[in-house]
Amino acid sequence: MSSSSDDYSDEDSYILFKDREDWRDVIPVNPEDNFEHEVVRIAYSEDFKDCFDYFRAICDKDEYSERALELTEECIKRNHANYSVWEYRRRILKKLGKKLEAEYDYTQKMLRRHIKNFQIWHHRQVLCEWANDGSREKAMTELIFKQDQKNYHAWQHRQWVVKRFGLYDGEIDFARELLIKDVYNNSAWNHLHFCIQNSTGWTEEIRKSEISFVLEKLEVAIDNECSWNYLRAIQNHILTANTELGDKFVSKLDVIEERGNSHKHLAAYVADYLAEKAENDSDKEAAEKAVKILTELSTDLDPIRRNYWNYLSSCLSAQFQ
């Protein structure tokens, strides 16, 4: 990710606004001029101070012009996280009735360089709302994912666009392809759940298909917590709804002689399944087995959450005394 200074590397050719003929009619506003005895004066660079002094001046006079639009771009180069500048830029675009194509190109260029900036992503979202069009955004977010597959802002934007404009076609396959490449891509697991939840819904056919898919991925990486969380979500966190699957995991855990940290999520799933089964069927044997696994989690497999596992164990033991 580049620094803001990279955005205006041609400093030799840069002309301060105070030295530009077309800005002679504007008196810059410096809020620090009213304070004679400051404890510490911020050491702004000359061009930074120049840009923002003129920005305050055009805000005070409510100027919406081409030169004001150019000024906002110079301010953004120096502080691309300044909300006030972005907001004023949007007002100018509206007042001038500017076509949005150039602004889309501008924000895409900015996002490629500053992929974690809230204000740029928000600006992009506003453009989509104005145009009532999200068709560009899938390709744009995919460019960002090439830089950072788990970029929170890009995923949030993509999900907003997909839901806002009903662009669900191809999204389930897109998420699956990412997971085939990287099973640990938690963002892709989240997106897969999001798309099914908001489009097809969890029909019995979809549920079976997704269970089959996640089981394949658990064979690749049994230690991936997100895969286990996705499996729980598919079942609406009612693990006894699929006793065949639950019993399969019980048997799988039983045959592992040397259990380690990589098996903690399997053990946690089995413990929850057995505890749920014990409560539903008043099955003391299932409860005892669950307590045994919870004890193993607290002492060997996942001691960092010892207090949590001990709490579950004590609650279950008290229930079946």
pLDDT by residue (tens digit) across 193-226? 999 999 999 999 999 999 999 999 999 999 999 9
Query: Are the C-beta atoms of 87 and 122 separated by less than 8 Å?
Result: no
Q: Within a 13 Å sphere around the CA of 195, how many CA atoms are in the beta-carbon half?
A: 22
Would you call 206 exposed, middle or buried from its count of C-beta atoms within 10 A (0-12, 13-18, 19+)?
middle
Would you call 176 exposed, middle or buried from its count of C-beta atoms within 10 A (0-12, 13-18, 19+)?
middle
Q: How far apart are CA 241 and CA 232, in angstroms?
A: 11
Query: Are the C-beta atoms of 302 and 294 separated by less than 8 Å?
Result: no
Query: Are the C-beta atoms of 290 and 297 separated by less than 8 Å?
Result: no
Q: How far apart are CA 42 and CA 104, in angstroms?
A: 34
Residue type at 89 in one-letter notation = R
Q: How far apart are CA 194 and CA 7, in angstroms?
A: 36
Q: How far apart are CA 34 and CA 276, in angstroms?
A: 69
Is the pLDDT score of 4 beyond 50? no
For 232-271, what is each residue's pLDDT tens digit? 999 999 999 999 999 999 999 999 988 999 999 999 999 9
Write the DSSP symbol of residue 22.
G
- Mean pLDDT over 264-285 rounds to 97
Q: How far apart are CA 172 and CA 198, in angstroms?
A: 11
Helix, coil or strand: residue 28: coil
pLDDT of residue 1: 40
Query: Are the C-beta atoms of 99 and 127 separated by less than 8 Å?
Result: no
**Taking the CB of residue 128, how many other CB atoms lie within 10 A of it?**
20
Q: How far apart are CA 181 and CA 243, in angstroms?
A: 31
Q: In the block, which residue shows the tokens 């830029």? A: 89
For 48-102, what is each residue's pLDDT tens digit? 999 999 999 999 999 999 999 999 999 999 999 999 999 999 999 999 999 999 9
9, 93, 27, 13: CA torsion to nearest 10: 20
CA angle 128, 134, 138 (to 5 degrees): 125
Query: Are the C-beta atoms of 249 and 214 separated by less than 8 Å?
Result: no
Helix, coil or strand: residue 49: helix
Q: In the predicted model, what is the mean pLDDT of the chain?
A: 94
pLDDT of residue 12: 63
Q: Give me 106's structure tokens.
A: 């501008």
pLDDT of residue 2: 43
Hey, CA dihedral for 271, 277, 280, 284, is it positive or negative?
A: negative
Q: How far apart are CA 261 and CA 303, in angstroms?
A: 10
pLDDT of residue 9: 46
pLDDT of residue 7: 57
Is the pLDDT score of 37 beyond 90? no
Q: Where are the domains of the chain?
A: 1-98, 241-321
Active site residues: 116
> What are the φ and ψ backbone dihedral angles of 117, each rounded to 5 degrees?
-95, 115
